Amino acid sequence: MPSAMKQTGLTALPDEILLLVIANFESARDLFSLSLTSKTLYRLVSEDGWRLFVKNRFPSLSVPPPTSGPHTWNQLAESLTWQSRCWDRRALQFQALLPWRRQQHQRAHHRAESNLFHTVVDAHFDLTTQEELVVWGAGEDIVARYRQRNGDARLSNSSWHRVRGKELGFEAGHDDVKAIKVVQHQSGRAIVTGRHNGQLSLLSAEPSRFGEHITDFNLASQSLADGQQALEQNTVNSVDVLHKDTTSLIAAATKNTLSIFRLGEDDDPESDPSMTYDLREEVFSSSSSRLSRAKWMGSDDLIALALGGSRDPLRYLILTPTGWTHQTAAKNLDIMSRFDLKADGNLCPNSIEPVYRNGTGKTSLLLSAWRDGTCRLQDLRTSSPFDTVYQDNIDPWVDAEALMTYGGERFVAGGGDGLTIKIFDFRWTKGYYHTSGLSCLDRVPFPAPSQAFLKPPTSDLVGQKKCDHLTGQHCHWHKFSKDIYYRPNYKYFLTRSLSPHAQNASVWSFARGSDISPHFYVGISGGVIEANLEPCPNSYPPDHPTVDNNFGFQNWRARAADGSGYVSRVISPTLMEIGDGYAYKHNDRSIRLPRLWKCGGPQGWTGDQLQASKHHRLDVNYQLRGDLNM
């Protein structure tokens, strides 16, 4: 080819054409390689290429554009692809934060307490300041930890704060925190707390005045002769916050009513609801019915409701020109029949979570957990092709008390069977597969997964060693790595590392700072667990950072600060793969128990084993020498 044509080849094309080509790149590695070929392409990739890559490969995540702060589209692409690889390879590590006094009590008496408080947790990550705040209700107390990133390779700073309930006259049990949310208020942060006694308050979340009282929200209360019944009626069962423009809308659920408050710029000592919806008037079918949870569905005109003691436990409120109206969630008869679901089944009251397929904005897709062990995805307003049912294929009858969604990528479930955390793939077509950036192989992914119902896929590409991008043919490795047979769902058993604390413990809540945070928090009985995406290094000391370079905290395992009242405990999880994740109508037969993978730590692979290790389906923590035989 003449040199003149080389100089006027790819770079001579208009940017619009080049961006159409770039939009089809499957791996960040290929896009990075393209950017190194010329100054023109480097500029184009830097200015628009990485933005297109993030939008096309992670369309359902809420990714804040880098209009301010230290991050770039390149860094966002680096972090999201790194995190996706960790999720796919099950590279999650855990640490528990437990009250110090309770630990001393357990060591002295060699038993676990049966009256552990149910921790509710929330988190917020400020992308501009690179500071994270995690808060949780610990019985009548409120605990907060602040962490400040100081750059890629530098240790973060942290500080702890605590509101001691007894010093304010609160009693354990009666005044426990049942709901907590971080909100933006004026130029700083605040937290909305709902207690078992019916108190709903706004407190400062700024470190210099943490816990300082700002506003009392006046919930509609009922005067009943029976004190215990009155407490149950007024208990704040859930709080959800919708951020809209310069204000925040708070939806607070008690047993019979939903109250909506508008959080403005003023520091009013008291605030009345802008709307109160009494469900007894047209929703409840019996005196045993109750409102357990309310969730905004991405806009201020749609709220999902979870009811207990009702034949139709999923409802929603929609704002019309004449005011708020109540509707029963649509039933997909085809789904009900295919999975043999009961229309009057019991809903796990704290489990409803909206699912966003486009990152942000309004949605009517709702995920919920049920007492028959299923997690159901359905469109509230009408039957839709997205409706489906998920289930642990190995232990299908265990329900989930709490759920957390990651856009349309995956969701996390916990509760029902002690300290276990399950990771489900939504099974929609994914925009990004980390395996696209790996070299070709003429074998299927290894080791072979445990699948209760799926059969291994077959192919006529026997012996094909390389992908042929001109014909669209893929090698064995890249073709089968995207098949759900080789991407089973999985769960972590955390009980063994926390005994005796875990004897009566369960999972009650989840939270994460943002969709780009490489870690999340689990509210358990009597404490908090931090789960961090972090691959196990091949050897110690590692030759590269093991946490997210851009949004992770290098010293996340640091012990709790002196005076915090907490101690930290490293958790060594056990991993089990639990099948493809779809519910099956006749999943009642005996199934062979899958293999349990215990953490093995760095393996020190070298040579061919090191190369094979990179193609292993699981993290180094769970690799065995026999898996790497080629």
CB of 423 closer than 8 Å to CB of 412: yes
Q: What does the alpha-carbon distance between residue 162 and residue 147 come to, in Å, rounded to a whole number?
A: 15
Write out the DSSP string of 175-187.
Answer: T-EEEEEEEEETT
Backbone dihedral region for residue 216 (phi beyond 0: left; psi -120 to 50: alpha; all else: beta):
beta
pLDDT at 224: 44
227-235: long-range contacts at Cβ-Cβ below 8 A with a sequence spacing of 24 or more? 231/174, 231/196, 231/197, 231/198, 234/197, 234/198, 235/178, 235/195, 235/196, 235/197, 235/198
- The predicted-structure confidence for 439-449, as pLDDT tens digits, reads as follows 999 889 999 99
Task: Enumerate residues 6+ apart whose C-beta is below 8 A from 621.
Answer: 91, 536, 597, 599, 600, 601
CB of 427 closer than 8 Å to CB of 581: yes
Asked if the peptide bond before residue 573 counts as cis, ω within 30 degrees of 0, the response is: no
Mean pLDDT of 129-148: 96
CB of 250 closer than 8 Å to CB of 190: no
Mean pLDDT of 352-362: 90
Which carries the bigger pLDDT value, residue 459 or residue 360?
360
pLDDT at 226: 45
Question: Which amino acid does the sequence have at 480?
Answer: F
pLDDT at 463: 56
- The predicted-structure confidence for 233-257, as pLDDT tens digits, reads as follows 789 999 999 988 778 999 999 999 9
What rounded mean pLDDT belongs to the chain? 88
Task: Examine the pLDDT at 433 and tell me if it is beyond 70.
Answer: yes
pLDDT at 287: 67
Domain positions in the chain are 3-88, 92-429+489-574
> How many residues make up the chain in this entry?
630
- Smallest CA-to-CA distance from 532 within 37, 82, 102 is with 82
Q: What does the alpha-carbon distance between residue 439 and residue 15 come to, in Å, rounded to a whole number?
A: 29
Task: Examine the pLDDT at 405 and tell me if it is beyond 70.
Answer: yes
CATH code 2.130.10.10 for 92-429+489-574:
yes
- Smallest CA-to-CA distance from 523 within 350, 298, 296, 303 is with 350
pLDDT at 310: 85
CA distances from 249 to 191, 192, 241, 252, 260 (A): 13, 11, 6, 10, 7
Q: What does the alpha-carbon distance between residue 79 and residue 206 come to, in Å, rounded to a whole number?
A: 28
For the chain, what is the radius of gyration of the CA atoms? 25
- The predicted-structure confidence for 12-45, as pLDDT tens digits, reads as follows 888 899 999 899 899 999 999 999 999 999 999 9
Task: Among 38-47, 280-289, 368-377, name the one with the lowest average pLDDT.
Answer: 280-289
Backbone dihedral region for residue 261 (phi beyond 0: left; psi -120 to 50: alpha; all else: beta):
beta
Helices (H), 199-250: 227-234
Task: Among 113-117, 499-503, 504-508, 513-517, name the one with the lowest average pLDDT.
Answer: 113-117
pLDDT at 225: 42
pLDDT at 461: 52
Mean pLDDT of 554-569: 91
Task: Examine the pLDDT at 6 and tell me if it is beyond 70.
Answer: no
pLDDT at 223: 45
Six-digit token string for 137: 């209700």
pLDDT at 10: 77
Task: Examine the pLDDT at 73 and tell me if it is beyond 80.
Answer: yes
Mean pLDDT of 121-143: 95
3-state helix, strand, coil in the chain (%, to 5): 20, 30, 50
Q: What does the alpha-carbon distance between residue 293 and residue 253 come to, in Å, rounded to a whole number?
A: 6
Which carries the bigger pLDDT value, residue 546 or residue 233?
546
- Smallest CA-to-CA distance from 405 within 510, 321, 317, 556 is with 510
Mean pLDDT of 506-531: 96
Q: What does the alpha-carbon distance between residue 357 and residue 352 come to, in Å, rounded to a whole number?
A: 16
Instruction: Specify the residue for token string 């759920």.
Output: 403
CA 525 to chain CA centroid, Å, is: 19
pLDDT at 540: 82
Mean pLDDT of 3-11: 58
pLDDT at 101: 67
Mean pLDDT of 617-628: 92
- The predicted-structure confidence for 196-214, as pLDDT tens digits, reads as follows 999 999 999 999 999 999 9
CB of 613 closer than 8 Å to CB of 529: no
Task: Examine the pLDDT at 267 and tell me if it is beyond 60.
Answer: yes
pLDDT at 110: 39
Task: Examine the pLDDT at 230 and tell me if it is beyond 80.
Answer: no
> Where does the pLDDT of residue 286 fall: very low under 50, low under 70, confident under 90, or very high at 90 and above?
low
Q: What does the alpha-carbon distance between residue 193 and residue 202 come to, in Å, rounded to a whole number?
A: 7
Instruction: Specify the residue for token string 């099948």.
Output: 579
Task: Examine the pLDDT at 216 and tell me if it is beyond 60.
Answer: yes
Whether this prediction's pTM lies above 0.75 is answered by yes
Fold of 3-88: Monooxygenase (1.20.1280)
> Where does the pLDDT of residue 56 fall: very low under 50, low under 70, confident under 90, or very high at 90 and above?
very high
Reduce the secondary structure of 273-284 to three states and give it as a string. CCEEEEHHHCCC
